[in-house]
Amino acid sequence: AAQQALEASQAEVGEAQRECTEAGNTVQEEFGQRQRMEERLRKSVQVIHGLCKALELAEANNSERPSRPREGAAGLRLAPVRPAARKSQGKHTAGSQKPPFMPKRA
C-alpha cells in the first residue's frame, strides 16, 4: 500500500513539474512579447519627440525670419487683411454690439 501511495505521489509530482514547466514557458513567451512591445513603444516615443523638436525648430525659424516683400511692392508692407470676426461669433441680438466701423463713445 505504501508503494502504491509513493507511486501515486510521484505521478502527481511529475504532473506538477510538467505544469510548472508549461507555465514557465508561457511566462517567458509573454515576457518576450512585452519586451518587444515596450521597445516598439520606446521607438515610437522617440519618433514623436523628434517630430515635436522639428516642429518647434520650424516654428522658431518661421517666427524669426520675416517674410520677404513681393516684387513690385516697393518695400511697402501692408497689414494682412483679416476676415470679419462677426461670422464666427454666432448670432447676436440686434443692437447688442456696435458695428466695427463705429467708434465707441467715451
Q: Calculate mean pLDDT across residues 65-78.
A: 59
Closest CA to 86 of 77, 74, 95, 97: 97
**pLDDT-derived band at 63, boundaries 50, 70, 90:** confident
CB 65 within 8 A of CB 57: no
Least-confidence region, from 20-34, 62-76, 84-98:
84-98
pTM summary value: 0.44
Sketch the domain layout of the chain as residue ranges. 2-65
Q: Is the CB of residue 77 less than 8 Å from the CB of residue 69?
A: yes
The per-residue pLDDT for range 11-58, each reduced to its tens digit, is: 999 999 999 999 999 999 999 999 999 999 999 999 999 999 999 999
Q: Which cell numbers hold the place of 16?
A: 506538477
